[in-house]
Amino acid sequence: MLALQYFDDTFDTNKSEFKMQQSVTLKARVDELQTTEEAVFELTESLGTLFEQEDVYFNVPHGNLKLRIMKPNRCGQLIYNSLSKKADHKLSESQITEVEDVYSMRATLGAALGERGVIQKKRRVFMAEGLRIYLDEVDEIGHFIEVAISLPNDSDSSSAVASRVAEVRARLKISDPSIVPAAYLDLLMNGLSFDDSASSCTSTSPDDSDA
């Protein structure tokens, strides 16, 4: 399953609209960690950068609102993410705001909205030629890999990006049954149902979301 993901870069006060960066993303379970690590190392020629993150999700009527705490610092990010389907792909619109004091922000948002749940994870980030790969160790639910490839503004490049995704997926040996269409919090809250006979999985959450 592929998803087009939009990350906010700048805000144009004259046009009163956000300029979004588009990415094609893919997330999957990791069953053989060492094999996956070796494939990622070979593809990116990097050992990656390790981060310890705590994602605090808040109650919102649509999409996901989460506060990402970058341990051991007090800084982090406030991330809103919403998915909608178009044609045969999913469009994800994300607004990211840098936060200097995540603990004060957590208290304020918790009082106003209430916390939906918390995800603790260790994330290794790898970069290579417009490609981002995340290897995540998520408390209580296991290991996952996420691939994100930037989509240029040129609409003619979409086929090239699709080919690049297929190439990366093949090199990382990501199979259809391993693909995860739901956010980590959905998995943790047992909101994901697996159909072994059909080798597929679907989220019972009203808004499938990237982690």
Taking only the tens place, the pLDDT of each residue in 18-75 is 555 567 778 899 999 999 999 999 999 999 999 999 999 999 998 889 999 999 989 9
pLDDT of residue 89: 37
What SS3 string covers the chain?
CCEEEEEEEEEECCCCEEEEEEEEEEEEECCCHHHHHHHHHHHHCCCCEEEEEEEEEECCCCCEEEEEEEECCCCEEEEEEEEEEECCEEEEEEEEEEECCHHHHHHHHHHHHCEEEEEEEEEEEEEECCEEEEEEEECCCEEEEEEEEEECCCHHHHHHHHHHHHHHHHHCCCCHHHECCCCHHHHHCCCEEEEHHHCEEEECCCCCCCC
Is the per-residue pLDDT at 5 higher than 90? no
Q: Which CATH architecture has domain 3-203?
A: Beta Barrel (2.40)
The pLDDT confidence band at residue 125, using thresholds 50, 70 and 90, is: very high
Tokens 């240029």 belong to: 152
Between CA 67 and CA 48 the distance in angstroms is 23
Q: What is the pTM of this model?
A: 0.77
Q: Could you state, in order of their start, the residue ranges of all structural domains in the chain?
A: 3-203
Tokens 């989460």 belong to: 66
pLDDT of residue 119: 97
The pLDDT confidence band at residue 103, using thresholds 50, 70 and 90, is: very high
pLDDT of residue 130: 81
Residue 58 CB partners (closer than 8 Å, separation 6+) = 65, 66, 67, 109, 110, 113, 114, 115, 116
Between CA 124 and CA 14 the distance in angstroms is 38
In this predicted model, which residue has the larger pLDDT, 180 or 144? 144
pLDDT of residue 13: 44
